[in-house]
Homo-oligomer: A and B are copies of this chain.
Amino acid sequence: MTQDQSHPEANAADETPPPVTRRSFLEKALYGAGMVSAATIVGSATLAMKSPDGSAAQSPAAASDSSASMDMGGASTAPMSDMTPEEMDAAHKKGILDFLQNQKTPLTKGKGNQPLAPTVDNGVKVFNLTVDEVEWETTPGNVLAARGYNNAIPGPILRATEGDRVRINVKNNLTESTTVHWHGLYVPNNMDGVPFVNQDPIKAGQSFTYEFTLRNSGTHMYHSHANSLDQVNRGLLGAFIVDPKDPASYPQYDREYIMVLNDLNLGFTINGKGFPATDAVVAKKGERVLLRYLNEGTMSHPMHLHGMPMTVFRKDGWPINPPQMCDTIDVAPGNRYDAVVEATEAGVWAFHCHILTHAEGPQGMFGLVTAMVVE
């Protein structure tokens, strides 16, 4: 152990704890939870960064002069070639600290992919969707002209149970026509949402009601099928989760995360946000975490989880027999996968698309990057 820097776990107990400053606290929490349990900084659903005295931790980045010339907000995808090594390290660090900060106080406005409770009309579960032009902040300061269901990207999570009858009232607030396709679901032909094939388009200002019975469970999607490259890609997308009638037919899990992947016009995003504005996947040690992947983009995204393997057991809602273990799962456009992770390894683990042009540049990580935090 004569190296300049050394953190082998075998020797962790031998190290003299340094004075706990805000910064070293964070670093200790991150670097393997040696001195401080990751649980300390993790709330029930999101990372809650607190300093030992209970006050909110403030990242150096957040405290820095916002007029600083080097703003590595994470939105840029082009490598920067003229950074010094010190600038690169600082930029990488800022991204991580911003990400931690984002778990406590969101760095961007707007949050998509939220549950939407249906009303019930004569046994039919009724959801109301508006189709809206929105200004959407994907990463701090990066506000884009986008479109969203109920003003959010992704739209609300529509969720019901196999056998349920659902009605979705759609009001088009765009200035152009739209429709909604229920990707993966069995539906009557006139509910399938392809303009001039299954229905007339829903013109600007008009409404349309979809109604059908859920015949197949699974991780499904809903999205525009009119001018869809533009409409879907700029935000008219969401998750449609159909739980099985017999819960025993589905693996047990303690936590569930839905990850809607997208790219192109709004950049590389998970649930409408690019790193560092992405949400962490959080679990207590020993829990089973369900990950639902949905690719609404135009490129394949091989998602790599550090630290623990994933067990993939459904594709497009249909069973994979036997389930396939892996650490990297290639999710092609239109595809969905359900995977379970046994949260056996404590700490903060990187979790990202392994196409590095979608995830990291000289200024640090961006885009399709988050972390799994095991308390």
Instruction: Show the binding face of A for B, using Cβ within 8 Å.
Output: 1, 3-10, 12, 27, 30-34, 79, 85, 88-89, 92-93, 95-97, 167, 169, 175-177, 181, 183-184, 186-192, 194-204, 206-212, 216, 225-230, 232-233, 264, 298-300, 302, 304, 306-309, 315-322, 324-328, 330, 332-335, 345-350, 354-357, 359-362, 371
Contacts and interface: CB of A to CB of B under 8 A. Distances in A.
Please name the 8 residue pairs, one residue from A and one from B, whose CB atoms are nearest each other, closest first: A189-B347, A334-B354, A32-B190, A8-B211, A318-B325, A32-B189, A330-B332, A328-B334
Contacts of A192: 306-307, 347, 349-350
Contacts of A233: 356
Given A89-B195, A225-B350, A332-B330, A189 B360 contact: no
Contacts of A3: 169, 207-209
A197 B89 contact: no
19 contacts: A3-B207, A3-B209, A5-B208, A85-B203, A88-B176, A89-B195, A89-B201, A92-B177, A92-B195, A93-B196, A192-B349, A197-B349, A198-B350, A298-B357, A302-B335, A315-B326, A319-B325, A321-B322, A330-B332
B306 A181 contact: yes
Copies of this chain:
3
A137 to B, nearest CB: 23
A212 B31 CA distance: 15
Question: Of A8, A208, A322, A362, which is in contact with the most chain B CB atoms at under 10 Å from its CB?
Answer: A8
A155 B3 CA distance: 21
Contacts of A304: 183, 334
A9 B190 contact: yes
Contact of A191 (B7, B309, B320): B7
Contact of A334 (B202, B302, B308): B302
A97 B196 CA distance: 8
Contacts of A203: 85, 89
B202 A5 contact: yes
Nearest to A204: B85
